[in-house]
Amino acid sequence: MTSVPRPPQPPTSLSPSRASDFMQCPLLYRFRVIDKLPEKPSEAATRGTLVHAVLERLFDAPAADRTAPRARALIPGQWERLLESKPELGELFAGDAEGERLSRWLGEAERLVERWFSLEDPTRLEPAERELFVETELESGLRLRGVIDRIDVAPTGDVRIVDYKTGKAPRPEYAEGPLFQMKFYALVIWRLKGIVPRRLQLVYLGSGDVLTYDPVVADLERVERKLLALWEAIALATETGDWRPRPTKLCGWCDHQAVCPEFGGTPPVYPLSVRPAESGEDDQGRMGPDRAEAGRPVALEGR
């Protein structure tokens, strides 16, 4: 029996990736969350998913067996599992009759996995959680959700949130984006458990860097205010249907140029009911300095 597609719905929650989309480009957020336009899989993002799966599964083994050769040996099986769950990923290597591109791609995944062993020692780690889905509702009613790569809990009770990045560490002036993502997770844990994580740790497998940040309550309160302002801007755009593109150098990577006004395209008919923008709302659907801050681009790296 063919399933009937769900009609478009207004957004009901916010994740780090969707927050990044809106801050990068409100129209991109609309295309992904409301229109749900399809996107082609990319080699880089899929490699990130594969590496994450391998690092998660490695902790199934006893500590002494968590070695680089064992991790490498997991890669083919995890790739097959990905293909089973998402057959469209096979399009990445269409026409690769000899398997040379796939072999190089898998080799790159192996190198990323191997580099991890120079940054952390899995034989000395016993994660409390891996690939943990978290969700909480703030007093305002805003629902936050996301997936945390790893949570470590020390004997003292201190919590460390760890996120793997398969790209390179950003230059210092661009470090705030990934840190925003980590503070988002820290805020969720704080609101769920009443515990401020002791450390946020970003592990960059592409460059072999480990970046850490120790948050305090004031950090998380600032992030919460920013998210509330961001959600207000999203709600306003949802109600008015006013989703403006925000051109940046990242446009070159976007799958939606054909329907983007910046590239001569026409967006699909807006599928939700709208109300006219009221006097005092700016042309980006925001009001006041908090919303202006919420709409500022912040690049959050993917996997």
User: What separation in angstroms does the CA of 262 have from each of 28, 38, 282?
Assistant: 12, 19, 20
Domain annotation covers residue 203: no
Domain annotation covers residue 80: yes
Domain annotation covers residue 221: no
Domain annotation covers residue 93: yes
Burial of 172 from C-beta contacts in 10 A (0-12 / 13-18 / 19+): exposed
What kind and span of H or E run contains 143? strand 143-153
As a whole number of angstroms, the distance between CA 101 and CA 36 comes to 30
Encode the chain (303 residues) as per-residue pLDDT tens digits.
455 667 788 999 999 999 999 999 999 999 999 999 999 999 999 999 999 999 999 999 999 999 999 999 999 999 999 999 999 998 999 888 888 999 999 999 999 999 999 999 999 999 999 999 999 999 999 999 999 999 999 999 999 999 999 999 998 888 888 899 999 999 999 999 999 999 999 999 999 999 999 999 999 999 999 999 999 999 999 999 999 999 999 999 999 999 999 999 999 999 999 987 666 555 444 433 344 344 444 433 445
Domain annotation covers residue 240: no
Domain annotation covers residue 303: no
Geometric angle at alpha carbon 19, from 172 and 174, rounded to 5°: 10
- Count structural domains, the chain: 1
Using only C-alpha atoms, the chain has a radius of gyration, in whole angstroms, of 21
pTM: 0.88
Domain annotation covers residue 195: no
State which residues form the domain around 52: 43-123
The residues that bridge with 152 in the sheet, in sequence order, are 160
CB 63 within 8 A of CB 124: yes
Domain annotation covers residue 300: no
